[in-house]
Structure 1
Amino acid sequence: MASIEEFHEDFLQSILSDAESRALLKAQSFFEIVCEDLVSVGDLTNNYSPAEYIKKGIEAYGYDYDDERKILTILNHQFFQDNIIQTLTKGQIETKFNRLKTFYKKSTEGLYKEMEETSEAYSMAYNIYKYVEKKQLHKVRFMVLTDGKATRNLMELPSETDKDIQFEFRVVDIEYLHNIYQSESKAAVSDIEVNLPCLKINDENNSYQSYLTVINGDLLVSIYEDHGQKLFEQNVRTFLQFKGNVNKGLKNTIEYKPEMFFAYNNGITATAESVEVGSDGHLKKIKNFQIVNGGQTTSAIYAARMTSNLDVSQVAVQMKLSVVKKTENQDDFISKVAEYANTQNKINNSDFFSNSPFHKDMKDYSNRIYAPAIGGSQKRTHWFYERVRGEYLNSQAYLKPAEKGRFINENPKQQVVDKTLLSKTEVMWRRRPDIVSKGAQESFKKFADEITETLEKDNLAITETYFKDAICRVILFRAVEKIISAAPWYDGGFRAQTVAYTVSYLSALTLESGLHLNFDLIWETQEIPQSLIEMLKLISEQVYQKITRPAAGYANITQWTKNSMCWTSVQEIDLDFPDLDPRLFIDRAEKNYQIKESKGIKVVDKGIDAQVFVLKVTYEDWNKLYDYYRNYKGIKNLSSMQLGVLEKMASGKIDLPSEKQSKILYQVYSSAKSEGVNVN
């Protein structure tokens, strides 16, 4: 794992590369990257919106509203952009927080009335005014983001109270960002102090340790109040509010029969990195506490207490806590717990997207396919697919200097594509700019739903052609960002929404024409043709004019762009494009042939991969699998043919398995592994 200095160096390079490829200011890139990470770990919600407002003595760059906990967060930053980690001084922090407080105070007094209605800052100031007016605030968090390092006493500043609203002050520095990077699950650590009687279930020889306990409703409310969505970062569901029958039942039980909650409710399943048990046998501390199943129960109890003002002190919730000894096994363990748990509401298959074969396919193509050399260079490079932020840096962690240099040359920073960016560009091209405008997490969920459904129908859907086309859509996205930033009509607001709607409009245009955009042309040159740039200039200007003039009843442009009606109105734009380059588009039949051919190649590749994999498995493991299934311990019994092939492989009667035998053996191995059989 990289040190904080190595992480800082890579982090700065990420910002410089991102700023250059997207025509952003470096400080703007820093702010966006950090906020995306904070959303992913639950420090900010999906309601987060960037919005810059700077005047003398006032400074704010974005805001977030947790509508369940009634917490407003207003953001500022101190970006040093220095090769050496700088120290954030007390004076700098006080200045940043004072400017945030001034912005909040003026917003509550009607600052929005002095602003241009089409600006992002107008929406921020207006919403803050309304939150206060409607008494929808319990707490205001002033948050400063920095690539520097703050001393501990500055990280934990005392809170204040103003008109019954609590003010909290928080610094997110390079150490905190490094902690996010260090956790493979990207979960911010939630350490909780408790005093819970518990029953230890299994012995120390198990790969995980389990405890049964009961947690009080008041304590659960307190934990959720302190940690919020960070508790559920690894969870597969979000709170559905009191809409379904189950949730109404939870509320009714809390209100009328709290003593029966333990009997009626399935309780909570949680995981931890480690626990401390006192001499009295009680749990005293739970490190990296994560609720895997039971997020709905937790949120229901919290909402009953904070929103409905119900007494939850008599509510007792059973909790099953598992401590996973090997952190590298945590993701798989959590996924299996969530999948097999007796859940209260249906969970879609896409909720397990982190384990989807999509990622394996994308990673394989990322490692194998070279991008064409461009600009007279003989150097060929890869587009690096990063499933988890930090994977790019981890890949270099143990390389010698010469090897590291070679790795960076073959995988340049500007060609790193993470799953969040990919999902955003794919959803744009799938013509849902309204979803993209709701934020990265909503885009990711939508993409996960659609890709999961696609793979259920066709497991060969993610081909080499798909990989190249997806990368071209990333290139298109970055090009549109640059076009808009440099446009004479652009005044600095709603760029992200304009980009999303521009790309979606282009996609809709090609779909209606019966043609396909020629992504091969983009792939071969690794850039957007000039004729397409001219098209995008026309589209983007009209899109901007359209989305910044919302329909009646939608004064808030940010909210308007999240509405499907906005997309309907943008599709009404009628443009003429003179002298289109015929190379830009290809016939649909030609594209379908490319896809079919690519699937054929993938079938061959998968057969070869299965044969190679099977030959790497030891006879000892094949014997272990044969004994397992022969004794009918498997969740799914094998057919006589499958068992026969497994028996021959285990006894050494098959020296070189055929493609068909390899496929059968691979399926058997994968099935047993998923059932928990201990094989390498």
Structure 2
Amino acid sequence: MISLEEFHQDFLQSIISDADSRGLMRPQAFFENICEELVSTGDLTTNYTAAEYIKNGVEVYGYDYDEERRILSVLVHQFFQEDEIETLTKNHIKTKFNRLKTFIKKSLQGLWNEMEETSEAYLLAYDMHRNVQNKLIDKFRLIILTDGKVTRSISEIPNDSIEGINCEHQIIDINYLYSIFMAENGTGSYEIDLNIPYLAVNNPSNEYQSYLGIMDGEQLFKIYDEYGQKLLEQNVRTFLQFRGGVNKGIRNTIQYKPDMFFAYNNGITATATKVETKNGYITKITDFQIVNGGQTTSAIYAAKKNSKMDISNVSVQMKLSVVNNIEKKSDFVSSVSQYANTQNKINKSDFFSNSPFHKEMKDYSKRIWVPTQGGTQRRTHWFYERVRGEYLNEQAYLTRAKKTQFENENPRSQLIEKTFLAKSENSWDRKPHIVSKGAQYSFGEFANSVTDTLEKNHLAITESYFKDAIARVILFRRTEKLVSDAPWYENAFRAQTVTYSIALLSHTVNKKKLFFDFTSIWDNQRLPIELEELMKVITKLVYEKITDPPAGSANIAQWCKKEECWNDVCNITIDIKPIMKLFKDKEEVRYEKKSDKQKKELDNGIEIQAFVIQTNIEVWIQLYGYYSNFRSLSLTQRDILKKYADGRIPFPSEKQSKVLYALYQRAVKEGWEALSI
């Protein structure tokens, strides 16, 4: 198991590498990395925004507004960047919280009048004042982010208030980040205390235990009020407000017939890793996840929070499945989500975690060597990280020598996370307004796009795609550095400038019906000098355009999230003649795609044959027994499976292997698992 100290070292190195490769200051990279982590766990919403403002007695680095729960989180950090884990002392904590409170108080008194209108902190101060005036903030949450650990002498920080608004305090330290890492890798957890009457359901499966329970509206309200999006972390959709017919029906039932809610509503479907019971009541649930019923939960919450409705007579049925094998927790939750959600339209991105895209990218990242540079003979890979922590986990049980070899072959500077890949790909796909909505939102759009592509062509993710995608990552990172180093850059709206600049380049190329050749970027692992010079011009033009929004759109960050902003940027004219050598013609593109497809078909066929032959014959005997139990197969499928299980096909052909492999995958998806041999 990875220790806290090992995690801290890895975390610190990832910050340093991220900052160096993207042209960020290390504290900026630290802030962004932690916030993205907290968004993925539901501790922050996708609305979080960087907003640095430091003066005497005042300090803030960013904020997040949870519109549904009306909570404004204001963030500050203490980044030690030391090899050993430092301690966040009482004095540190007191100073940081006091400086945050001073910022809030001054903002409510008109601090924005002293700021530059184009700064991100101006937007924070102005919006905070406006939302308080309009009674749209019920709670302030003051958060300290740190790579240190909180002193043991502090177990709780009492709440207080600012201008009559409740004020909570929270510290996200290295221990908290470590617990997130352990949870994502199947060993961490959180617990919820409650009191729900239940019935245990007899279940022959040893994979999970099921319960039927009844939760009243007040209990559900309190749980969601405390944990928010954390409960819906792996849920397949978020609250759609009262716009759809389903949600209007929920609201009307709560308002006019609350006693009929149990009869009218399907309730919630949830998963957990552990429950505790006493006298016919569930008293504690570990890792509670609402995988179906997010609308029901949010509707009940909004009914009381926003409309002041009485929810005391609302009863909600709950189907709770507790997974027994913690290692299969992620797959179990995903499967329950997929089959439980049939009420409303589900986005393709909802189940993207199981997409073959990840397997393809992972396979290529392990197999393809990066071209050597500068005379060095050392070969390296780009490491694709589908799940946060994979890079560290793959080193967990290596010897010191093997770990050194792994790090040499997979340098941290060549680690690419799925959300960063999504930002890069969406930018080139001319969706900068989507990227500007945040990493998680951008990833959802990317997942939809990839799924559509794979549905049309399951061979779309080729070796050439992998290399081109990495080249676009290199383009994105280098553009970030160019903006950071530009004399005109004023430390604001860097992210928006980068995504819009890359999108504008792509738009110009596409408009002229040209095809960009990323080969030179991949071969040299850097941008050609002509492209760098052009990006310097583009980024300046884009920055000037997006920071001068039309009347009525003074909030630049919000303006950049709108398609109208992208349409406006598309009007910028750029000259791409200096990079004409970086394009290829239509016939060349068509030939390469055909060649890639043929090569992949051959590779896939060989891989499938190898899998079938290398899998123990006893597994195929068990599989035949599984399908013999009333499961329909075509005559051809049954004949091939029976003959292979009987040993009458010593070396299956490519076609026979594809049939056997498809039957194996189908059975696994249905929950079948071969007994130990």
TM-score strictly above 0.5: yes
Q: Distance between the aligned counterparts of 1:411 and 1:581, measured in 2?
A: 31
Does the CA-based 8 Å contact 1:242-1:248 persist in structure 2? yes
Rounded to whole Å, the distance in 2 between the matches of 1:126 and 1:204 is: 59
| CA apart distance, 1:164 | 3.5
In structure 1, distance between residues paired with 2:236 and 2:189:
18
The alpha-carbon distance between structure 1 residues 30 and 460, as it changes in their structure 2 partners (threshold 3 A), is same
Q: Cα distance, 1:10 vs. partner?
A: 0.4
Say whether the 8 Å CA contact 2:192–2:284 is kept in structure 1.
yes
**Which residue in 2 is equivalent to 1:449?**
448
Partner of 1:657: 652
Aligned to 1:311: 310
Instruction: Output aligned runs, 1:154-553, within 5 Å.
Output: 154=154, 156-184=156-184, 189-202=189-202, 206-278=206-278, 280-341=279-340, 343-553=342-552
- SS of 1:461's equivalent? coil
1:589 aligned partner: 587
Q: What corresponds to 1:555 in structure 2?
A: 554
Residue number in structure 2 paired with 1:39: 39
User: Mean alpha-carbon deviation: is it higher for 617-626 or for 42-51?
Assistant: 617-626
The amino acid of 2:324's aligned partner reads: K
* TM-aligned CA deviation for residue 341 of structure 1: 1.5
Matches of 1:342 and 1:459 in 2, distance apart?
25
What SS does structure 2 have at the residue aligned with 1:214? Answer: strand
Matched, 1:622 2:608: no
TM-score of the pair, normalised by structure 2: 0.98
* Aligned match of 1:603: 601
Any gaps of 5 or more consecutive residues in structure 1?
none
Query: Quick one: distance in 2 between partners of 1:536 and 1:164?
Result: 49
Decide whether the 8 Å contact of 1:45 with 1:65 is kept in 2: yes
* One-letter amino acid of the counterpart of residue 446, structure 2: F
Whichever residue aligns with residue 209 of structure 2, its letter is Q
Q: Could you tell me how far 1:201 is from its partner in structure 2?
A: 1.2
| Bigger mean CA deviation after superposition, 610-619 or 216-225 | 610-619
**Gap change, CA 1:188 and 1:424, over 3 Å in 2:** farther
Whether the aligned pair in 2 keeps the contact of 1:155 and 1:170 (CA below 8 Å) is no
Shift of residue 343, structure 1, vs aligned partner:
3.1
Deviations 1:635-663 (A, max 9, x none): xx221111111111111111111000000
**Bigger Cα displacement from structure 2, 564-573 vs 201-210:** 201-210
Cα distance in 2 for residues equivalent to 1:214 and 1:367: 48
- Contact 1:40-1:186 within 8 A present in 2 as well: no
Residues 210/132 of structure 1: CA separation in 2 closer, same or farther (3 Å cut) = same
Q: Which moved more, 1:135-144 or 1:586-595?
A: 586-595
| Aligned partner (choices 649, 667, 670) of residue 672 of structure 1 | 667
How far did residue 348 of structure 1 move? 2.5
Between stretches 399-408 and 315-324, larger displacement belongs to: 315-324
Between stretches 154-163 and 426-435, larger displacement belongs to 154-163
What secondary structure is seen at the aligned counterpart in 1 of 2:501? helix
Contact 2:365 2:381 in 1 (8 A): yes
Match of 2:96 in 1: 96
Does the Cα contact within 8 Å between 1:41 and 1:188 map onto a contact in 2? no
Q: Find the aligned partners of 2:338 and 2:81 in 1 and give their Cα distance.
A: 43
Q: 1:342 to 1:405 in 2, by over 3 A?
A: closer
Which residue identity lines up with residue 196 of structure 2 in the other structure?
Answer: L
> Partner amino acid for 1:606?
N
What is the CA-CA distance between 1:123 and the residue it aligns to?
Answer: 1.0
3-state secondary structure, aligned to 2:112: helix
1: CA distance, partners of 2:33 / 2:341: 37
Separation of aligned partners in 2, 1:309 and 1:272: 31
**Structure 2 Cα separation of the partners of residues 462 and 134 of structure 1:** 50
Query: How far, CA to CA, are the matches of 1:205 and 1:338 in structure 2?
Result: 18
Q: Which amino acid aligns with 2:248?
A: K
Q: Is the 8 A contact 1:241 1:300 kept in 2?
A: yes
3-state SS in 1 of match to 2:140 = strand
Identity %: 57
Partner amino acid, structure 1, of 2:454: L
Note the C-alpha offset of 1:209.
1.2
Shift of 1:23: 1.2
584 and 408 in structure 1: CA distance in 2 versus 1, 3 angstrom threshold: same
Structure 2: distance between partners of 1:189 and 1:158: 24
Q: Which runs of 5+ in 2 are unaligned?
A: none
1:109 to partner: Cα distance: 1.3
May I ask how many residue pairs the two structures share in their alignment?
675
- SS of the aligned residue for 1:283 comes to strand
Contact in 2 for aligned 1:41/1:187 (Cα 8 Å): no
Give the residue type in structure 1 aligned to 2:216. Answer: N
Shift of 1:110: 1.5
The residue identity in structure 2 corresponding to 1:608 is I
The code of the aligned residue for 1:233 comes to E
For 1:395 and 1:535, locate their aligned partners in 2 and report how far apart those are by CA, in whole Å: 39
1:125-171 superposed Cα distances (whole Å, 9 cap, x missing partner): 11111110110011100000000000355353111123441100000
Distance 1:177 1:368 in 2: 31
Distance in 2 of aligned mates of 1:209 and 1:629? 25
Show the 5 A alignment for 1:55-66: 55-66=55-66
Structure 2 counterpart of 1:214, one-letter code: I
| Alpha-carbon distance between aligned partners in 2 of 1:135 and 1:190, rounded to the nearest angstrom | 32
Corresponding residue for residue 143 of structure 2: 143
* Residue in structure 1 matched with residue 129 of structure 2 by the alignment: 129
The secondary structure found in structure 2 opposite 1:574 is coil
Q: Which stretch of the first structure deviates more once superposed, 17-26 or 334-343? A: 334-343
1:5-20 matched pairs, under 5 angstroms: 5-20=5-20
* CA RMSD of superposed structures (Å): 1.4
Q: Match of 2:573?
A: 574
1:647 is aligned to 2:639: no
Distance 1:610 1:108 in 2: 64
Instruction: State the shift of 1:205 in Å.
Output: 6.4
Q: CA deviation at 1:308?
A: 0.8
Q: Which amino acid aligns with 2:180?
A: I
1:242 counterpart SS class: helix
Mark the CA change 1:398 to 1:187 in structure 2 (over 3 Å): closer, same or farther.
Answer: closer
CA distance in 1, matches of 2:93, 2:591: 60
**Contact 1:435-1:442 at 8 Å conserved across structures:** yes
Q: Does structure 1 conserve the Cα–Cα contact (< 8 Å) formed by 2:516 and 2:584?
A: yes
Aligned equivalents of 2:580, 2:113: Cα separation in 1: 50
The verdict on how the C-alpha distance between 1:188 and 1:215 changes in structure 2, with shifts beyond 3 A counting, is: farther
Deviation per CA, 1:538-596, whole angstroms, max 9, x where unpaired? 1000000000000111011111111111111111112335x614432222321232222
Q: Matched residue of 2:458: which SS?
A: coil
Using the size of structure 1 for normalisation, the TM-score is 0.97
User: Which amino acid in the other structure matches residue 252 of structure 2?
Assistant: N
CA contact (8 A) 2:90 2:151 kept: no
Check whether the contact 2:43–2:230 (CA below 8 A) recurs between aligned residues.
yes
Change (3 A) 1:181 1:503: same
Say whether the 8 Å CA contact 1:156–1:170 is kept in structure 2.
no
In the alignment, is the contact (CA less than 8 A) between 1:76 and 1:100 conserved in 2?
Answer: yes
Contact 2:186 2:326 survives alignment (8 Å):
no
Cα deviations by residue, 1:70-103 (Å, 9 ceiling, x for unpaired): 0000000000000000010000011000010011
